[in-house]
């Protein structure tokens, strides 16, 4: 059963796209411009904003990295946009956009380079009318976050003149444990006010993640059942079928917990579990998210499971195991699968387990939130013979791919006896609103240009999630495990299934 039909007129849908949200003139300066993130995600996202007329007329992008790429940078980025987004390279808007993509070469530790960059940006202000407003994007390895911020401060680039604003987006991972996250916060707060710092988590830029809040707080019928009285358990799955994509050295230090669970999954969890904020303003939303993380009981290591993929088959293709990947230790103890059970000790959620997991090289790519409801108090359909009659109602919020929401419930099978089958009501984003090329980054880039931090992580939140995860990382480090323990292309290690089985439950994917 597929039932997606928009009850809003096309004019209302168009008006809802928010084209009135146009930022002030500015220069976006991307450190790490020759990197993978800039080419694959950031420049395409900026161009999508341009396509929707959401960028100001007076706008320039400056890429910064160490090699001299002044001749090749703009064409290279154009190539990335064309390949990544089905864009025609002859599109007039694209050529106009590319004319405003500039490049500046410097080492990140070169003071002279920063002084010259400052002058370069001032010249662009004169040429393009960007008024001294700056959005610096640190798309660089984490060890540079504090250094670059300090250098920006030392060269007078963190305070705007004549009312101009300066903001800094910092990529993930924001620290590797509680101590390093605190240290990084302290360092950047020496130079920047909290309202200048935008700690990015691209999951918060995803429409389907934001829709969790709209679904819960923009409708009257769901919130009354969104609590321990009606909900049996919650699951969040972030499954990827890809491996580590050549990022061996990074992943060896990170692992699935640091790479995805501590940030993307915990952000999604906070949206699922938070109390209604007083308003949809940054401070109000952040306060409620923080309360969720702070209410989570410290997680015993027995309530966690980890794994590492060995060789296997994904999409019918043979793939190598993690330990055979390029620049990975052949005896690596790094986990590519992390799962745990959490308890949120507050009035709404006491007694409701949250099971979360994130992993590489699983059977297929699927990120979703599953809400399993409690059974009715009495089964009155005694004649029903099939087991489907005792299945719970399940609400699935599919974050990606095939974005949408499904509600599973029992329906009478036509016939002279009362037998029950499980059926689904479904909302599909693509059917309702058309396919979207948005990658999460465009909304967040736009919000940062507008100074709206609602969808960004803040200091206390980052530290709260690290406070939960650091003891687990330490306990894991102390125990050597027998990896690999799951085949690439499977649904992960037996330990993860056991985690739910001991509670009489099982992982679900739609």
Ligand X SMILES: O=C1O[C@H](COP(=O)(O)O)[C@@H](O)[C@H](O)[C@H]1O
Residue numbers at the binding site for ligand NDP (CB under 6 A): 32-37, 65-67, 107-108, 139-142, 171-173
| Shorter beta-carbon distance to ligand X: residue 117 or 265 | 265
Characterize the bridge pairing of strands 309-310 and 366-373: unpaired
**Token output for 129:** 């009318």
Per the CB < 8 A criterion, the answer to whether 115 and 57 are in contact is no
**Token output for 324:** 């055979």
| Shorter beta-carbon distance to ligand X: residue 30 or 152 | 30
240 annotated among ligand-binding-site residues? yes
**Binds 259, which of ligand NDP, ligand X, none (CB < 5 to 8 A, cut-off by type)?**
ligand X
**Binds 461, which of ligand NDP, ligand X, none (CB < 5 to 8 A, cut-off by type)?**
none
| Shorter beta-carbon distance to ligand NDP: residue 204 or 394 | 204
β-partners of residue 269 are none
**Binds 240, which of ligand NDP, ligand X, none (CB < 5 to 8 A, cut-off by type)?**
ligand X
| Site mask for ligand X (CB under 6 A), range 219-258, x = bound | ---------------------x------------------
Is 155 labeled as catalytic in the residue annotation? no
| Shorter beta-carbon distance to ligand X: residue 370 or 393 | 370
**Binds 318, which of ligand NDP, ligand X, none (CB < 5 to 8 A, cut-off by type)?**
none
Long-range contacts of 84-87 (CB under 8 A, 24+ apart): 84/40, 84/44, 85/44, 85/47, 85/48, 85/437, 86/437, 87/47
259 annotated among ligand-binding-site residues? yes
Work out which of 259, 335, 447, 487 binds ligand X, going by CB under 6 A. 259
**Binds 132, which of ligand X, ligand NDP, none (CB < 5 to 8 A, cut-off by type)?**
none
Please name the residue that has the structure tokens 């999954």. Answer: 265
CB of 237 to ligand NDP, least distance (A): 19
Characterize the bridge pairing of strands 26-31 and 134-138: parallel
User: How many Å apart are CA 132 and CA 384, to the nearest integer?
Assistant: 71
Per the CB < 8 A criterion, the answer to whether 357 and 236 are in contact is yes
34 annotated among ligand-binding-site residues? yes
CB of 90 to ligand NDP, least distance (A): 28
83 annotated among ligand-binding-site residues? no
How does DSSP classify residue 326? Answer: T
Q: Binding to ligand X by residue 403, rule CB under 6 A?
A: no
| Shorter beta-carbon distance to ligand X: residue 361 or 459 | 361
**Interface with ligand X in residues 163-222 (CB under 6 A):** 202
- Nearest one of 80, 54, 368 to 239, comparing CA atoms: 368
108 annotated among ligand-binding-site residues? yes
360 annotated among ligand-binding-site residues? yes
User: How many Å apart are CA 337 and CA 244, to the nearest integer?
Assistant: 12
CB of 202 to ligand X, least distance (A): 6
- Name the closest residue to ligand NDP (Cβ): 35
Residue 229 Rama label (left phi>0; alpha psi -120 to 50; beta): alpha
Per the CB < 8 A criterion, the answer to whether 76 and 69 are in contact is yes
Count residues binding ligand X (CB under 6 A): 4
How distant, in Å, are the alpha carbons of 13, 18, 52, 436 from that of 8?
7, 16, 21, 18
| Shorter beta-carbon distance to ligand X: residue 151 or 202 | 202
Q: Binding to ligand X by residue 325, rule CB under 6 A?
A: no
- Rounded to 10 degrees, what is the CA torsion of 445, 450, 454, 456? 30
Binding site for ligand X (CB under 6 A): 202, 240, 259-260
Active site positions, annotated: 264
Q: Extract the annotated binding site for NADP(+).
A: 32-39, 66, 107-108, 172
């Amino acid at each position: 059963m597929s039932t997606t039909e928009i009850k809003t007129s096309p004019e209302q849908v168009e008006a809802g796209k928010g084209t009135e949200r146009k930022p002030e003139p500015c220069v976006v300066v991307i450190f790490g411009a020759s990197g993978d993130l800039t080419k694959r995600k950031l420049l395409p996202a900026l161009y999508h904003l341009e396509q929707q007329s959401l960028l100001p007329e007076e706008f320039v992008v400056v890429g910064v990295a160490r090699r001299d790429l002044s001749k090749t940078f703009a064409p290279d980025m154009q190539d990335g946009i064309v390949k990544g987004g089905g864009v025609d390279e002859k599109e007039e808007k694209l050529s106009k956009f590319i004319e405003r993509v500039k490049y500046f070469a410097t080492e990140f530790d070169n003071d002279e380079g920063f002084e010259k960059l400052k002058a370069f940006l001032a010249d662009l202000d004169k040429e393009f009318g960007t008024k001294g407003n700056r959005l610096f994007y640190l798309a660089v390895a984490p060890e540079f976050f504090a250094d670059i911020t300090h250098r920006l401060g030392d060269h007078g680039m963190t305070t705007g003149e004549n009312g101009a604003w300066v903001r800094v987006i910092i990529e993930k991972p924001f620290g590797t444990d509680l101590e390093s996250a605190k240290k990084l916060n302290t360092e950047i707060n020496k130079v920047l006010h909290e309202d200048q710092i935008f700690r990015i988590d691209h999951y918060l830029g995803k429409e389907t993640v934001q829709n969790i809040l709209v679904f819960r707080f923009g409708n009257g019928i769901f919130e009354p059942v969104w609590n321990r009285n009606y909900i049996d358990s919650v699951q969040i799955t972030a499954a990827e079928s890809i491996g580590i994509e050549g990022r061996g050295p990074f992943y060896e230090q990170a692992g699935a917990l640091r790479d995805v669970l501590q940030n993307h999954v915990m952000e999604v969890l906070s949206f699922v579990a938070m109390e209604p904020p007083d308003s949809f303003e940054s401070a109000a939303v952040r306060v409620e998210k923080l309360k969720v993380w702070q209410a989570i009981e410290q997680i015993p290591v027995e309530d966690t499971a980890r794994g590492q993929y060995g060789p296997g088959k994904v999409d019918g293709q043979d793939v190598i195991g993690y330990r055979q990947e390029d620049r990975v230790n052949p005896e690596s103890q790094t986990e590519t699968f992390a799962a745990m059970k959490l308890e949120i000790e507050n009035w709404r959620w006491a007694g409701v387990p949250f099971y979360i997991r994130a992993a590489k090289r699983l059977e297929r790519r699927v990120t979703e939130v599953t809400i399993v409801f409690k059974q009715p108090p009495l089964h009155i359909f005694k004649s029903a013979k099939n087991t489907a009659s005792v299945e719970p109602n399940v609400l699935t919020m599919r974050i990606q791919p095939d974005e949408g929401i499904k509600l599973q419930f029992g329906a009478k099978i036509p016939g002279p006896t009362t037998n029950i089958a499980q059926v689904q009501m479904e909302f599909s984003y693509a059917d309702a609103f058309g396919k979207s090329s948005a990658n999460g980054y465009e909304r967040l880039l736009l919000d940062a240009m507008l100074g709206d931090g609602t969808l960004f992580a803040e200091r206390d939140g980052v530290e709260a999630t690290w406070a939960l995860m650091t003891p687990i990382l330490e306990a894991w480090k102390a125990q050597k495990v027998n990896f690999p323990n799951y085949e690439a292309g499977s649904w992960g290690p037996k330990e993860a299934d056991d985690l739910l089985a001991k509670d009489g439950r099982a992982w679900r994917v739609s």
